[in-house]
Amino acid sequence: MNWSEKEFKTIDLGDKRLNKRAFLLAERLSAKPGSSIPAACGGWAETQAAYRFFAQDEVEWSDILKPHMECTRERMQAHEVVLCIQDTTELNFNGQAITGLGPLNYESQRGMYVHPTYAVSLSREPLGILDAWMWAREPRDENGQRAGLRESLRWVEGYQRIAEYAEALPNTRLVYVADREADFMELLKKAEALGHPADWLIRSKNNRRVPSTQNKLWDEVKASDAVGEIRFTLPRRGNQKAREVHQQVRVKRVRLSAGKKQEIEATCIIAQELNPPESAKPVEWRLLTNRKAETFEDAVQMIDWYRARWEIELFFHVLKNGCQVEALQLSTIDRLEIALALYFVVAWRINRLMRLGRACPDLEAELLFDPDEWRAAYVMNKKKLPKKPPSLNEVLRLVAMLGGFLGRKSDGEPGVKTLWLGMQRITYFALGLQFARVMGLG
């Protein structure tokens, strides 16, 4: 059983042929994530079958993700704490004739939005997708108003879904992690009303007034004594190089007005950079959480959990740049959503391989690679096949070398880009080995 059959083992699209097509499409798209659907399928008959699959009126994108979500929940059971990271990204299909798309942040651009909940462990192992929203905006009317759904609902409903998972996973603490867009009182009140089945950790955007002192929240916290200092490496982002960051940390438990004499209790943590480089913008995080931070170590833990939010940015990076989903040529947004559901799982797998290779390098490769895949990594690198199954890290480095990773001591561990490029090559080689066996050639 290959990885896609394991991940989609409970899929039920109402027809066994559709179930098998889902397995095959996941394999094909994983083998060539950056290629067009015809190029990934490798033949006209298979390409037609793929387009017929995307055009199935009775198939919803949620039907595609459901088995993966079930596998995600199974993986979460092995962890005491799971970070459930939410964020939104826009997909720009400008210039493509896809029915159902809408305006983006720039009204003249056409595309759609995706908003997944991405579960990761404390060691930043990607566990999978828990939930997702996909939608296109309505154009603004002559009064500048936009009809359609209220987009802020995705944050509240996202917390509600995590709360449902929390009830099903009583031995795992779930933490809702989000950036500034989630900082609105409706979300905090919903969590309070539900009894905080899942914790929440949000980057503060609104400098609210603290009723007990009438001071602004951030001023109130900054006026308190620092509880300690931290240092870490800020990863490279775009044209900004990775650099060391030194922050001073302050913490205060406060009560915030929630309207109609209601108050919400929260902890505010401010981590403020000391002596940033002249050319760099100071890194300052203002975090809100329902959890108490009674010690410096508690505050550092919250900051570390927030820093793990970068994992969903890596997921979007693979989805857009590795899988090239903005180049998909499908005629309607419904078909696009079904394809995106498959690409979500492909992007998750690439990120998971990278993280496990770093966090758990001594795992056996066969836990995540098919035997033909890891053998292909050796053969294509002109390496002798080992007598016993190799470690995950060893195979990942060989895969990444096929994608341009040099593998020198000074190079560290491979990143997602070299992995997705290498995976394209070994997956097709592995398919060739399987074909040779079927034909009796090996």
Q: CATH number, domain at 402?
A: 1.10.740.10
In this predicted structure, the answer to whether residue 236 has a pLDDT above a threshold of 90 is no
Residue 127 and residue 146 in one domain: yes
Distance of CA 142 to the CA centre of its chain: 37
Arithmetic mean of pLDDT, 35-39:
85
| Same domain membership, residue 227 and residue 80 | no
What local confidence, expressed as pLDDT, does residue 221 receive? 96
Domain extent, residue 409, equals 360-438
- Please check whether residue 191 lies inside any domain of the structure: no
Instruction: Calculate what percentage of the chain has a pLDDT beyond 70.
Output: 94
Among the ranges given (58-67, 74-83, 388-397), the one the predictor scored with the smallest mean pLDDT: 388-397
Side-chain-side CA neighbours of 12 within 13 Å: the count stands at 2
190 lies in some domain:
no
Q: pTM of the predicted model, to two decimals?
A: 0.87
CA distance 42 to 410: 38
Using H for helix, E for strand and C for coil, what is the string for 209-261? EECCCCEEHHHHHHCCCCCEEEEEEECCECCECCEEEEEEEEEEEEEEECCCC
Read off the pLDDT of residues 274-285 as tens digits, 9 standing for 90 and up: 999 888 889 999
Q: Helical H runs in 360-401?
A: 371-380, 392-401
Helix (H) or strand (E) holding 133: strand 126-135
Looking at residue 439, its pLDDT comes to: 57
Asked whether residue 27 falls in the same domain as residue 156, the answer is: yes
Residues near 98 by Cβ (< 8 Å), separated by ≥ 6?
Answer: 110, 330, 331, 332, 333, 336
Is residue 123 situated within a structural domain?
A: yes
How many structural domains are present in the chain?
3
List strand residue ranges (DSSP E) for 392-441, in order: none
Residues 382 and 335 in one domain: no
Are 32 and 116 in a shared domain?
yes
The verdict on 338 and 318 lying in the same domain is yes
Q: In terms of domains, do 139 and 164 share one?
A: yes
Give the end of a domain, one of 321, 348, 375: 348
CA distances from 249 to 35, 67, 101, 286, 322 (A): 46, 42, 44, 10, 37
For residue 438, what pLDDT band results from cuts at 50, 70 and 90? low
Instruction: For residues 223-230, give the mean pLDDT.
Output: 96
C-alpha–C-alpha distance, residues 270 and 250, integer Å: 5
Note whether 113 and 88 are within 8 A (CB): yes
